[in-house]
Structure 1
Amino acid sequence: MARKKTMKALTSDALLDRVKALGKVSKEAKARDCGYVTTTKTGQSRVNIMKFQNALLDAMGMELDGRGSGEGRMGRKPSYRIRVQSNGNLLVGTAYTSQMELQPGDEFEIIIGRKHIKLVPIVAEADV
């Protein structure tokens, strides 16, 4: 049984040019024509619309998921709430220290209020 040759999916400018050339056809037809088709285990072909649309967005330079240029790590967003640990410590996470541009060795004065704790940076005499 001869296998049908599969076309490599188009990306970037080639994808945009092909979609423009296709004009007013359905998105399924555009995805199929641009190579976004997979073959299932049973031999049926399936159009991968989601992969096609994501490639189209990438080709247009749109970033919907906030990944940016890939610099840095995507961790949890700071909630601005912390809990006392079982040993009684309060842990200020890296999300907060990097947002404040803190460096190892920076010192703070702890001011305890009725319902809050403030960390006030201690400015060294040489920095003033």
Structure 2
Amino acid sequence: MLTGPDLLAKVKEFSDGSKSELVKACGYVSSKKDGSDRLNFTAFYEALLEAKGVEIGSGAVGKGGRKLSYIATVQGNGNLLIGKAYTALLNLQPGDEFEIKLGRKQIRLVPVGGSDEDGED
């Protein structure tokens, strides 16, 4: 996905093309379950605003415009849900894998093949 000056240059280059073609050319595309393309207009427009130096809001916002609390609660069935807003902040994609590192009263997710920065459990 293009960002910053590269994104701005591509937008200028595509001034006569359709919005869909522009979003696709800039790399803001993901795959649906059926294998077809999904154009990620929101991510594209957010990157475009950032490239132009426009900052919207000071905190991360999740679904429904609520500010993210950065607190997860274990659900009644024992699941611990992170949520799409958090994975979007890290630009995580479906299929990304993580090692689960357990410590005393903590869970750390480390990308498979990545390094555990502090190395402590």
Q: Which has the larger radius of gyration?
A: 1
How would you bin the TM-score normalised by the shorter chain?
0.3 to 0.5
TM-score, normalised by the number of residues in structure 2 = 0.46
